[in-house]
Amino acid sequence: MIAGIELGGTKTVVAIGTAAGELLEEWRFPTTQPAATLGGASAWLRERGPLECIGIAAFGPVGIDPQREHYGKMLATPKPGWTGFSLIGALATAFPNATLTLDTDVNAAALAEARIGAAAGLDDVAYITIGTGIGGGILSGGRLIHGALHPEFGHLKVPRQPGDDFPGVCPFHGDCLEGLASGPAIAARWGQAAHELGPDHPAWDSQAWYLAHGILALLAIVSPARVIVGGGVSQVAGLHARIRSKLLEISAGYFPPAMDPDYVVAPALGQEAGIRGALLLASGV
């Protein structure tokens, strides 16, 4: 039996499913303190029967390189109580006989969208989420990119939209991409939550500017064949089309992949990309 755990900043999802990433049964609950969250997830999974493989898709920063000392641990996170907690330690104690495979939530989502979603059949795919934070996962040449830690797409610096003097909300950098364009940044900038702004609000023009510049950096460095933009904020009508057209403008004819009319698309797996990616991680595909 294959199991997946998607550990998010606000909610956690546990599931059992198939090696092809199909969900058989899942449970969603709020992420609280680390021991209680992992304890709850483990108890639910144990009731489902003996598990051989568990895929874990975690919010970051988290150590995902098994060769490094920080493997499986939550690194410096503003989320109270989580810094230094060992996810792999907790799960290895709860499931001593299971094979554990850990990656970031956004890498898991990239994998799922690339195998069974909006980028099915492509080996060079980026998945970006815009919600409480901004994150990005990258599949390159069929492999999930890790690097020394893992990509931190949301903390990229992007050029300011002319006339924009909003200081940004990132506690580390102020006006990085996440500081300028995450859900909390939109709320702070416009005085209203993203889901309360209509699709014609000027906020979306500004969002398209910042996200298109972030995607341009991805194009210049890893050249994805397709970019999936998901997360709560991406659900507003028309955002993907706005990003595509801004990207086309700023790429100035230089980047052929960006000319694909389906270059920037919504996830096909919706809110399930992360947990289905966790199942695929567990199955090792």
Binding site for ligand ADP (CB under 6 A): 8-10, 131-132, 183, 193-195, 231-233, 235-236
**Please, which residues have CB within 8 angstroms of residue 254's CB and are 6 or more apart in sequence?**
none
Nearer to ligand ADP, 232 or 257 (CB): 232
Q: Does 62 bind Zn ion (CB under 5 A)?
A: no
Q: Does 158 bind Zn ion (CB under 5 A)?
A: no
DSSP 161: P
Look up residue 145 and give its two tokens.
Answer: 């990119």
**Please, which residues have CB within 8 angstroms of residue 56's CB and are 6 or more apart in sequence?**
4, 5, 7, 87, 88, 91, 100, 101, 102, 103, 278, 281
Nearer to ligand ADP, 235 or 283 (CB): 235
Nearer to ligand ADP, 51 or 243 (CB): 243
Nearer to ligand ADP, 168 or 183 (CB): 183
Residue 236 binds which entry of ligand ADP, Zn ion, none, with Cβ cut-offs from 5 to 8 Å by kind?
ligand ADP
Give strand pairing partners of 74.
62
Of the candidates 53, 176, 219, 258, which one interacts with Zn ion according to CB under 5 A? 176
Residue 8 binds which entry of ligand ADP, Zn ion, none, with Cβ cut-offs from 5 to 8 Å by kind?
ligand ADP
Residue 235 binds which entry of Zn ion, ligand ADP, none, with Cβ cut-offs from 5 to 8 Å by kind?
ligand ADP
Nearer to ligand ADP, 131 or 214 (CB): 131
Q: Find, among 89, 121, 135, the residue nearest to 233 by Cα.
A: 135
Q: Does 155 bind Zn ion (CB under 5 A)?
A: yes
For 167, the 3-state DSSP assignment is: coil
Nearer to Zn ion, 173 or 201 (CB): 173
CA distance 74 to 193: 29
Backbone angles phi, psi at 215, to 5 degrees: -70, -35
Q: Is the peptide bond before 61 cis (omega within 30 degrees of 0)?
A: yes
Shortest reach from residue 231's CB to ligand ADP, in Å? 4
Residue 189 binds which entry of ligand ADP, Zn ion, none, with Cβ cut-offs from 5 to 8 Å by kind?
none
Look up residue 190 and give its two tokens.
Answer: 């416009």
At which residue do the structure tokens 């599949």 appear?
Answer: 139
Residue 232 binds which entry of ligand ADP, Zn ion, none, with Cβ cut-offs from 5 to 8 Å by kind?
ligand ADP
Instruction: Give the N- to C-terminal CA distance of the chain in Å, as an integer.
Output: 15
Interface residues with Zn ion (CB under 5 A)? Answer: 155, 170, 172-173, 176
